Structure 1
Amino acid sequence: MENGLLARSHEIGDLGNGGTYLDPFMVIFPEYSAAAAMVLLGMLMLRRKFGLAGFGVAFFALSCGSAVVLKSVLPRPVFDRELLSNVHNSAPSGHVTAITAVALLALVAVPDKYRWPTAGAGAVAASLTAYGVQYAAWHRPSDVVTGVALSLFWFFLLTAFRAREERESAPERGLVWKSIAVAALAAAAICWATQMRTCPGWLVAAGSLFPSLAIMASSLYLSRRPVSP
Structure 2
Amino acid sequence: MGGLTQRTGGPGPMSTEPTRDQGETPVRDWPSTRRGTFHPPTVGVVIKHLVVIGIMLFGLWGTVWAFLYSYSGQWIDQTATSEVSNNLRRYSRDSDHLLNALPAIAGVLAVIGILFVLVRRHRFLPAVIGLAMAAGANGTTQALKYLILAKPNYGVQEATMNSLPSGHTTFAAAAGAALFIAAPKKWRPFMSLVMLMFGTLAGVATVINEWHRPADVVAALFVVAAWTALALLVLRFVPAEDQDTASTRHTGMLLIPLMVITGLFLAFCAVATYMIAAQQHFAGAALLGSLCLIFAVGLLSTALLVWLLRRKQPTEERPYTKVWSY
Please say whether Structure 1 and Structure 2 have the same fold, judged by a TM-score greater than 0.5. yes
Change (3 A) 1:135 1:169: closer
How far 1:99 sits from its partner (Å)? 1.9
Q: Which residue of 2 aligns with 1:213?
A: 300
Q: Which residue of 1 aligns with 2:18?
A: none
CA contact (8 A) 1:9 1:203 kept: no
Change (3 A) 1:204 1:112: same
CA contact (8 A) 2:137 2:224 kept: yes
1:63-94 Cα deviation digits (max 9, x unpaired):
1122222221235469753xxxx675511111
How far 1:185 sits from its partner (Å)? 8.8
SS of 2:249's equivalent in the other structure is: coil
Aligned length: 211
| CA distance in structure 2 between the partners assigned to 1:62 and 1:221 by the alignment | 20
| CA distance in structure 2 between the partners assigned to 1:5 and 1:70 by the alignment | 18
Change (3 A) 1:45 1:13: closer
| CA distance in structure 1 between the partners assigned to 2:100 and 2:308 by the alignment | 27
Q: Which residue of 2 aligns with 1:193?
A: none
Q: Which residue of 2 aligns with 1:178?
A: 255
| CA distance in structure 1 between the partners assigned to 2:75 and 2:104 by the alignment | 33
CA contact (8 A) 2:177 2:228 kept: yes
Q: Which of residues 183, 207, 218 in structure 2 aligns to 1:134?
A: 207
CA contact (8 A) 1:44 1:52 kept: no
1:141-170 Cα deviation digits (max 9, x unpaired):
332222112112222223212216798466
| CA distance in structure 2 between the partners assigned to 1:87 and 1:8 by the alignment | 15
The amino acid of 2:79's aligned partner reads: E
How far 1:61 sits from its partner (Å)? 1.2
CA RMSD of aligned residues (A): 3.7
The amino acid of 1:70's aligned partner reads: L
The amino acid of 1:208's aligned partner reads: I
The amino acid of 1:175's aligned partner reads: G
In terms of Rg, which structure is larger? 2
Q: Which residue of 2 aligns with 1:93?
A: 166
CA contact (8 A) 1:41 1:53 kept: yes
Identity of aligned residues (%): 18
How far 1:205 sits from its partner (Å)? 1.5
What TM-score do the two structures reach when normalised by structure 1? 0.71
The amino acid of 2:291's aligned partner reads: A
| CA distance in structure 1 between the partners assigned to 2:225 and 2:112 by the alignment | 21
| CA distance in structure 1 between the partners assigned to 2:107 and 2:256 by the alignment | 26
| CA distance in structure 2 between the partners assigned to 1:87 and 1:80 by the alignment | 7
Flag the structure with more relative contact order, 1 or 2, with Cα contacts below 8 A and sequence separation at least 6: 1
Q: Which residue of 2 aligns with 1:224?
A: 311
Within the alignment, does 1:17 sit opposite 2:94 as a pair? Answer: no
The amino acid of 2:302's aligned partner reads: I
Within the alignment, does 1:201 sit opposite 2:275 as a pair? Answer: no
Q: Which residue of 1 aligns with 2:219?
A: 146
| CA distance in structure 1 between the partners assigned to 2:214 and 2:77 by the alignment | 12
1:20-58 Cα deviation digits (max 9, x unpaired):
989455565443333233223312321211111211221
Question: Unaligned 5+ residue runs, structure 1?
Answer: 188-197
